[in-house]
Amino acid sequence: MLHIEFITDLGAKVTVDVERPEQVLDVQRHYGRLGWTSGEVPAGGFVFPLDNEPDFDWSLIGARAWTNPEGEVMILHRGHAYRRRELEAVDSRKLKLPKAVKYSRGAKPTDPEHLREKADGEIEYVTLAIFRGGKRQDRFAAPQGQATGGGPREARPAQATQNQANQPNRPAPTQPSQRPAPRAAAPAPAEDDTPF
């Protein structure tokens, strides 16, 4: 027998018994759809192969796609909304980086220090996941015909393809005590796209 330790969508610590090791991922999917998460986001974010990005099953980590009022697809995880960013390959003498896709958000004053990443200027980011290199793993794919994890790429609007380096003007959240939730800025949010 195995036991998976979750934090529920309500913040409670709940352990779920699992009969066999091969059921672990499916149980994570099942409860992940409810927003339950297990463990912490690693410093620097989860790392997955780039080829898993198009149909990644976000329920595996308790996240889900969400279209914000401006029509942009974002990923919601524990009440935070992460924006998709495509990072182009870098091939200079000092630095070689393959292309990647990153889901990140501006840091908030309540984020712990070890999760914050300095970008240009004074802006700090927190990364949920980065897809880069590697070999596709089918176990990370969303089940076919299921909306949970398959949506982001298809629905992705043009502005989501900007390179992070080209976004110095995107402001970091400046009034955290008034903007703790991703939908805070929505003047008239539709009922079915609640980030909760």
* 121 binds a second copy, rule: CB under 8 A: no
Q: Which stretch binds a second copy (CB under 8 A): 141-149, 153-161, 178-186?
A: 178-186
* 40 binds a second copy, rule: CB under 8 A: yes
Instruction: Classify 79 in phi/psi space as left (phi over 0), alpha (psi -120 to 50) or beta.
Output: left
Q: Which stretch binds a second copy (CB under 8 A): 34-42, 144-152, 153-161?
A: 34-42
Applying CB under 8 A, which of residues 74, 130, 142, 149 lies at the interface with a second copy?
A: 130
Which residues from 69-108 bind a second copy, rule CB under 8 A? 78-79, 87, 89-91, 95-98, 108
Size of the site for a second copy (CB under 8 A): 80
